[in-house]
């Protein structure tokens, strides 16, 4: 009993540290964003204005900051604003990026997991090596590779494959290439952490029972790596939705994502309430589906029991 009493404060401290971290660096900033999103700035510069009327004691919430995101256009069509288009485009690019990272990263992770234990640290270091270079420099490097007079076009023209430069920069291709390159390690690492713990004797047993290599991979390896796939997919998808640097440098005027729209509203138009409303809606579009998914997947074992 004495030992248990001594260890309880330590357990509470260990459990409390991540909760304090989330409160300070997620919940508190989110509440500030939520507060500003209901403010009516008017002609003032500061967005930190009271949202309650001191005379009546009632809240003065400006719902227009949210309604303007989804309001009808001049033709009467709902959900046709530039903000909705940016949301849809951001989710589409993030989904494509996550799928590309999965297709490319799974073989990488599988190869590293099957490699000799003495070689794995070197292979993992090669995956982490891009993080040693500035994020901005890596994105700028792709501008030099994909430009009209860039490395790829010069090489294709030297080989005689094309007669004039191809338009690769400021297109969907450049966007997906840049985002896939940047976020690929976030897919490889959780997949590797999952696959390296797998008992590969299960594959040998499947082969002994007559399963083909592909069937054994699909029925044994993929289900056992489901947790790594979901973790990697979320680690790539979530930051890709709000990506700002890559669309600004590699995307054209038709490839504007929601991160660029929030930037323009906040710093170009100085409309902080609408910018924060856009950010709150984006957080809701990501967090709510994730919460629903984890709620039902977490209850699934209990319901079976």
Least confident interval from 26-30, 53-57, 297-301: 297-301
59 — phi, psi (to 5°)?
-75, 140
Please report, to the nearest 10 degrees, the dihedral formed by the alpha carbons of residues 91, 95, 97, 98 taken in order: 130
Q: How many CA atoms lie within 13 A of 213 on its CB side?
A: 0
Name which residue leads in pLDDT, 72 or 69: 69
- The torsion region of residue 59 among left (phi > 0), alpha (psi -120 to 50) and beta comes to beta
Kindly report, residue by residue over 50-63, the tens digit of the pLDDT: 877 767 667 778 88
Q: Give residue 102's pLDDT band: very low, low, confident or very high (50, 70, 90).
A: very high
Distance CA 171, CA 154 (A): 18
For 52, the 3-state DSSP assignment is strand
Determine the Cα–Cα distance for residues 168 and 170; give it in Å rounded to an integer: 7
Query: Model pTM?
Result: 0.84
Residues linked to residue 59 through DSSP beta bridges, in sequence order: 52
The answer to whether residues 224 and 197 touch, using CB atoms and an 8 Å cutoff, is no
pLDDT tier at 277 (50, 70, 90 boundaries)? very high
Average pLDDT estimate for 121-146: 90
Q: Report the C-alpha gap between 235 and 77 in whole angstroms.
A: 35
Got the DSSP string for 69-104? HH---TTS-TT-SHHHHHHHHHHHHHHHHHHHHHHH
pLDDT tens profile 208-248: 888 888 999 999 999 999 999 999 999 999 999 989 889 88
- Give the model's pLDDT for residue 2: 46
What confidence tens digit (pLDDT) does each residue in 150-179 have?
Answer: 889 999 899 888 888 888 888 888 999 999
């Amino acid at each position: 009993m004495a030992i248990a009493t001594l260890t309880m404060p330590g357990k509470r401290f260990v459990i409390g540290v991540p909760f304090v971290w989330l409160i300070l660096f997620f919940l508190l900033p989110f509440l500030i964003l939520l507060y500003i999103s209901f403010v009516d700035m008017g002609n003032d510069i500061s967005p930190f204005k009271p949202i309650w009327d001191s005379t009546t004691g009632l809240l003065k919430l400006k719902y227009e900051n949210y309604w303007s995101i989804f309001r009808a256009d001049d033709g009467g069509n709902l959900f046709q604003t530039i903000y909705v288009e940016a949301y849809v485009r951001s989710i589409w690019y993030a989904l494509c990026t996550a799928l590309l990272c999965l297709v490319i990263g799974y073989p990488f992770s599988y190869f590293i997991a099957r490699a000799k234990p003495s070689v794995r640290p070197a292979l993992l270091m090669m995956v982490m090596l891009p993080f040693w270079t500035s994020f901005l420099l890596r994105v700028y490097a792709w501008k030099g590779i994909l430009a009209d007079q860039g490395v790829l076009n010069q090489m294709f023209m030297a080989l005689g494959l094309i007669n004039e430069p191809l338009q690769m920069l400021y297109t969907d291709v450049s966007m997906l290439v840049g985002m896939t390159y940047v976020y690929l390690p976030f897919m490889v690492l959780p997949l590797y952490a999952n696959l390296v713990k797998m008992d590969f004797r299960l594959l040998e047993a499947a082969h002994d029972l007559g399963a083909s290599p592909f069937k054994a991979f699909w029925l044994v390896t993929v289900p056992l790596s489901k947790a790594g796939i979901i973790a990697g997919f979320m680690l790539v998808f979530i930051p890709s939705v709000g990506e700002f640097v890559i669309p600004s440098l590699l995307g054209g005027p038709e490839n504007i994502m929601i991160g660029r729209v929030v930037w323009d509203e906040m710093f170009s138009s100085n409309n902080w309430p609408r910018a924060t409303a856009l950010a709150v809606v984006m957080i809701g579009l990501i967090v709510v589906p994730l919460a629903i998914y984890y709620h039902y997947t977490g209850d699934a074992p209990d319901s079976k029991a």
